[in-house]
Amino acid sequence: MAQTARVVIGVDSSTQATKALAVDIDSGAVLGEGRAPHTVTGTGGARESDPEQWWAALGTALAGTGHAGSAEAVSVGGQQHGLVTLDPAGRPVRPAMLWNDVRAAPQARALVERLGAEEWARRVGSVPTAAFTIAKWAWLAATEPEAAGATAAVRLPHDYLTGRLTGGATTDRGDASGTGWWSGDGYDREILASVGLDTAKLPTVLAAGQRAGTALPGGPLRAGTPVAAGTGDNMAAALGLGLAPGRPVLSLGTSGTVYAVTEGRPADPTGTVAGFADALGGWLPLACTLNCTQAVDRVAALLGRDRADVEPGGSVVMLPFLDGERTPNLPDASGLLHGLRHDTTPGQILQAAYDGAAYALLAALDDVLKAGGQAADPDVPLLLIGGGAQGAAWRDTVRRLSGRAVQVPAAKELVALGAAAQAAALVTGERPDEVARRWRTADGPLHEPVPRDDAALARLADTLARAEPLLGSG
């Protein structure tokens, strides 16, 4: 008789959807998948979702795997930074403010001015931007004081879902490091007091490997199922790749990120690099751009072209900051097109959009490694993940602007896979990154380097430097 597979489930609750993977603990094979969409609302700088919708989507996605009643453990990875406010009964006070909601830009600037960028970097590892939870809470307290006053608990998206599963109030060091009020050793009470927030409203930060609890009866899982601590989406993706220190990753999704696991604690007073913790005992310095694949797809639609229909040549430069920008910190910026000629083609404009989206990420790559005390090695291939990694135009753009080889892991849904590795570690006693390396999740085709396009890089750098007064400062 064939042996029954041991199964865990990993969840990715992102801005757009909840995805769940049922994974064989021993082989890493995906045995079932579930998915349910989310709705994002808001105009201008607002981006919000109803947390109750996330909970319903989680149930649908877990059921879709076919293993919700038999999984040996479960873990939830979720979008970072989101502000979830709950009343004393655990119900949302208002829709959650998502990471890419930029309304808190004035509050972020005021916070930095009050304490100083150097002190922020020293105390919490990062200089707050509009994305950070602390800026969002400051915005809420200033503009919706009744909602802030009705808030009995503040959670991140993955905290909220884990809490609904277990009935507990927990988070992990990785996701906590994106709030702006966690110091690496615990909550910074002075910083919290400055925005009128008490630690009693915050979840307990679990140690790496500690479980959050077990599934409650009546929920989407078998009662008593162990639930891991969970983590933020970028930390979960790092686990899903089994990252070793110093290996850089470029993630090309709706947003773009570049990060690496480091042994040194990052602290970048320029604000380019966020000094996140990973989900284990190390660190995950990261730079993030708001405008990546979605911005390029929008430009393609405006031009009436397929996203892959690019053409080389020309001197046109595009800064596709369609939703403001985080790196560089220009939350009020819009897109900019420069250098049009009579012979400029639509395909060249589209290629310029790719170049502009990739440029900020690649420019921050050395800063990410330096912030964590890691030496940059240009001979190490970049790991390219996210939806954009599947497109030849994105791969070719990254190779041309970096001069480096890129490797594209064959594994899909790395956030959910990382959460699954975290769940599996509860069962096997391994480290989650060891589980992922055993599953060989980072394996995939290698695309050799091409000569770096220094002329394009120079045009981009010059355009950005001269356009900043027009774009608006952060």
Instruction: Give the residue numbers annotated as catalytic, written as ranges.
Output: 233
- Structural element, H or E, at residue 391: none
Which pair of structure tokens corresponds to residue 388?
């954009």
What is the identity of the amino acid at 377?
Answer: D
| Cα–chain center distance at 401 | 23
Alpha carbon of 176 to those of 81, 132, 204, 368: distances in Å? 9, 11, 10, 19
DSSP string, 341-380: -TT--HHHHHHHHHHHHHHHHHHTHHHHHHHTTPPP-TTS
Residues 6+ apart with CB under 8 A from 14: 38, 78, 79, 233, 415
Torsional sign, CA 16, 17, 23, 25? positive
| Integer CA distances (angstroms), 265 to 121, 276, 427, 462, in order | 10, 8, 29, 32
Amino acid code (one letter) for 242: G
**Nearest CA to 421 among 251, 259, 235?**
235
C-alpha to C-alpha distance for 252 and 28, rounded to whole angstroms: 24
Instruction: Evaluate the omega torsion of the peptide bond into residue 328 and state whether it is cis, within 30 degrees of 0.
Output: yes
Residue in this structure with the two tokens 């319903």, named with its chain if needed: 56
The whole-angstrom separation of Cα 140 and Cα 332 is 19
Q: How far is CA 355 from the centre of its chain?
A: 21
Phi, psi of 444 (to 5 degrees): 175, 175
- Read off the amino acid at residue 258: V
Residue 420 in contact with residue 65, Cβ under 8 Å?
no
Q: 92-112 in b/e burial notation, b at 16+ Cβ within 10 A?
A: bbbbbbbbbbbbbbebbbebb
Cα radius of gyration rounded to whole Å, the chain: 21
Nearest to 169 by CA among 156, 177, 159: 159
